[in-house]
Amino acid sequence: MWYWLFKYIFMGPLLSLLGRPKIEGLEHVPHDGPAILASNHLAVADSFYLPLVVRRRITFLAKAEYFTGTGIKGWFTRWFYTVAGQVPIDRTDADSAQSALNTAARILDQNKLLGMYPEGTRSPDGRLYKGKTGLARLALESGVPVIPVAMIGTDVVNPPGSKMWRFGRVQVRFGKPMDFSRFEGLAGNRFIERAVIDEVMYELMRLSGQEYVDIYAASLKEGAGPEPTPAPGSRLPESAAG
């Protein structure tokens, strides 16, 4: 109940006023049954504008830190993210990553829409970064369609690092469902999983118009290694084109 109250009464009108969302390709989201919504990630606002424009409820996997705070602020944050449809996951090691995939699989088994950010974290500079293969493995194991979603302008309405939200124009572009049934039975093959996630990232790059950078966003944030400087109009590896 709280999810729908937030969407239509408390948060929805304010988000609509701030971002004046423009929607393209909403018909690609199925009216029922499981699917993965694979989105680029520019700002925290992505997790609010995407549910705002989709009629069905979306469940996101959110970092556990949102649910572990103490005191009144911690309680409110935990309650808020729970009613907003987010499920906590631990991202600290390989075992926790598999646990997160198991949680995601259970959500899909319940015929729900699952929201995922294949970059694994918010973009540090507005560019599109290398996708992690967890989404690919989940898609191959579950057999559900992957719907690419490009969020545009959310980093203007909700600038990263700022607590203030601003007026802007948010665009949400849905691509056609992606079917990877041709790879049935190949989940766990790292080359196939890389090809699948590269194909998803190619669609996100095409829909969003972002420049692609072939490193993980988390690595850049942690200062692990030099940042490549791609040429203008740089593209994903050939495997991404399918």
Q: Single out the residue of 103, 31, 42, 95 nearest to residue 67, CA to CA.
A: 103
Q: What pLDDT is attached to residue 184?
A: 92
Maximum CA extent, the chain: 50
| pLDDT tens figures, 32-66 | 999 999 999 999 899 899 999 999 999 987 766 76
Task: Give the separation between CA 113 and CA 93, rounded to whole angstroms.
Answer: 26
| pLDDT tens figures, 151-195 | 999 999 999 888 889 999 999 999 999 999 999 999 999 999 999
Identify which has the larger pLDDT, 104 or 73: 104
Q: Single out the residue of 7, 39, 41 nearest to residue 174, CA to CA.
A: 39
Q: How confident is the model at residue 200 (pLDDT cuts 50, 70, 90)?
A: very high
pTM for the model stands at 0.84
240 has pLDDT over 60: no
105 has pLDDT over 90: yes
Q: What pLDDT is attached to residue 207?
A: 98
Q: How confident is the model at residue 2 (pLDDT cuts 50, 70, 90)?
A: low
What phi and psi values does residue 184 have, to the nearest 5 degrees?
-55, 135
Task: Give the separation between CA 109 and CA 226, rounded to whole angstroms.
Answer: 41
28 has pLDDT over 70: yes
Class of the CATH domain delimited by 1-218: alpha beta
148 has pLDDT over 50: yes
What is the percentage of the chain residues whose pLDDT exceeds 70? 84
Whether residue 148 contacts residue 114, with contact meaning beta carbons closer than 8 Å, is answered with: no
For range 88-109, the mean pLDDT: 77
Q: Which residue has the tokens 């293969």?
A: 133
Domain ranges of the chain: 1-218
214 has pLDDT over 80: yes
Q: How confident is the model at residue 93 (pLDDT cuts 50, 70, 90)?
A: low
- Across all residues in the chain, what is the average pLDDT? 86
Task: Give the separation between CA 227 and CA 209, rounded to whole angstroms.
Answer: 20
Whether residue 99 contacts residue 87, with contact meaning beta carbons closer than 8 Å, is answered with: no
Whether residue 213 contacts residue 127, with contact meaning beta carbons closer than 8 Å, is answered with: yes
Q: What pLDDT is attached to residue 99?
A: 80
Ranking 24-33, 76-85, 101-110 by mean pLDDT, the lowest is 76-85
Angle at 92 between CA 137 and CA 99, to 5 degrees: 45
